[in-house]
DNA sequence: AAGTAGCT
DNA sequence: ATTG
C-alpha cells in the first residue's frame, strides 16, 4: 500500500534549490556581515522565560524578538545592544519581488540559527498587521525537517525535508497555518563557516511585512 | 505556548 | 493538554 501524497495548504510553495551553491555562499557572507552589527542572541518565551533552542537576529527596519517580560513583538532595535538592525540585503529584496506579487517590500527578516538538536515548535506567524501578506523563507546550511499543519493547533502535519538554497513561500491559506521545524540533519552541509557558526547547523531567513504598529 | 510531551 |  502506498499512502496518500503529502497535501499542503493552498498558498504553500516550495522552490527547491532556488539559490545555486555560489549564490548561497554570497548570501551567507551577507548574513555573516550583518551579524557583526547585530549579533545572534538567545530569545526567551513570554512569561516563563524558557529559552528557545534557536539563536536569533534580524535584518530590516523591524525585527521580531521575544523575551520573558516583553513577549512577542517587532521593534526597530536589537534587544541586547540597542542598535538598529542592519539593512535587508538586496538579494533578499529581489527574492521577495520574484516569488511574491505583494506590492510592499518586507520590513523584517528574521535570522534563525538552528544547531544540532534545535527545533521550532508548531506556530502561526500572527504578530503582523496584515496576515494576507506572504511570508518568504530561505534555507542555508544543514537539511531540516519542516512540518506544515493546518489552521487548528494540534492537527495533522505533513513533513518536507528542506535543503540549503531552498525557498518556501507561505501565502493565502498557508499563511495562517501552523508550521515548525522538528529536526536538523547535522553535518549534511558545509556551507556555514565555522568562524561565525561553530558546529555548523542551519540558518533560516524569514521575510515578513509587519504593517501598522503592533 | 515560536516552550515540552507524546502520539500518529 | 497545559500553567502562568
Report CA(A23)–C1'(B6) in Å, whole number: 40
* pLDDT tops 90 at residue A6: no
Return all residues near A212 (Cβ < 8 A) that are at least 6 apart: A129
pLDDT of residue A80: 97
* pLDDT tops 90 at residue A213: no
What Cα–Cα distance (Å) separates residue A144 from each residue in A115, A133, A152, A164, A170? 11, 25, 23, 9, 17
pLDDT in tens, A128-149: 999 999 999 999 999 999 999 9
Helix H segments across A65-213?
90-99
pLDDT of residue A90: 98
Please, are residues A133 and A102 in contact by the beta-carbon 8 Å criterion? Answer: yes
* pLDDT tops 80 at residue A120: yes
* pLDDT tops 60 at residue A214: no
User: Which nucleotide's C1' atom has the smallest distance to the CA of A66?
Assistant: B2
What mean pLDDT comes out for the span A3-13?
83
Closest-CA residue to A166 (of A8, A19, A11, A12): A19
Report CA(A154)–C1'(C1) in Å, whole number: 10
Q: Does domain A12-41+48-208 have CATH number 2.60.120.590?
A: yes
Closest-CA residue to A69 (of A55, A40, A54, A49): A49
User: Which nucleotide's C1' atom has the smallest distance to the CA of A47?
Assistant: C4
State the nearest residue by CA to the C1' of B6: A154
Q: Which residue has the cell 521580531?
A: A64
Report the mean per-residue pLDDT for chain A: 95
pLDDT of residue A112: 98
A154 touches strand C (CB under 7 A): yes
Bases on strand C under 7 Å from any protein CB? 1, 3-4
Cα A197 from chain centre: 16
* pLDDT tops 60 at residue A114: yes
pLDDT in tens, A24-77: 999 999 999 999 999 999 999 998 899 999 999 999 999 999 999 999 999 999
Report CA(A121)–C1'(B5) in Å, whole number: 12
* pLDDT tops 90 at residue A185: yes
User: Which nucleotide's C1' atom has the smallest distance to the CA of A110?
Assistant: B2
Closest-CA residue to A210 (of A112, A128, A122, A98): A128
A22 touches strand C (CB under 7 A): no
State the nearest residue by CA to the C1' of C3: A48
Report CA(A120)–C1'(B2) in Å, whole number: 6
Amino acid at each position: 500500500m502506498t499512502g496518500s501524497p503529502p497535501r499542503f495548504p493552498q498558498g504553500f510553495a516550495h522552490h527547491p534549490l532556488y539559490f545555486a551553491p555560489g549564490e548561497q555562499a554570497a548570501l551567507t557572507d551577507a548574513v555573516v556581515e550583518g551579524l557583526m552589527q547585530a549579533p545572534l542572541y538567545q530569545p526567551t518565551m513570554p512569561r516563563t522565560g524558557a529559552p528557545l533552542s534557536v539563536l536569533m537576529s534580524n535584518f530590516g527596519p523591524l525585527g521580531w524578538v521575544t523575551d520573558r517580560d516583553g513577549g512577542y513583538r517587532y521593534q526597530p532595535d536589537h534587544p541586547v545592544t540597542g542598535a538598529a538592525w542592519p539593512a535587508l540585503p538586496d538579494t533578499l529584496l529581489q527574492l521577495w519581488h520574484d516569488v511574491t506579487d505583494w506590492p510592499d517590500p518586507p520590513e523584517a527578516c528574521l535570522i534563525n540559527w538552528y544547531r544540532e538538536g534545535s527545533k521550532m515548535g508548531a506556530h502561526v506567524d500572527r504578530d503582523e498587521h496584515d496576515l494576507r501578506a506572504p511570508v518568504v523563507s530561505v534555507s542555508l546550511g544543514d537539511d531540516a525537517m519542516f512540518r506544515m499543519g493546518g489552521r487548528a493547533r494540534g492537527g495533522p502535519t505533513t513533513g518536507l525535508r528542506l535543503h540549503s538554497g531552498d525557498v518556501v513561500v507561505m501565502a493565502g491559506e498557508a499563511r495562517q497555518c501552523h508550521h515548525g521545524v522538528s529536526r536538523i540533519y547535522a553535518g549534511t552541509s558545509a556551507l556555514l563557516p565555522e568562524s561565525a557558526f561553530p558546529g555548523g547547523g542551519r540558518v533560516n531567513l524569514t521575510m515578513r511585512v509587519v504593517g501598522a504598529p503592533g
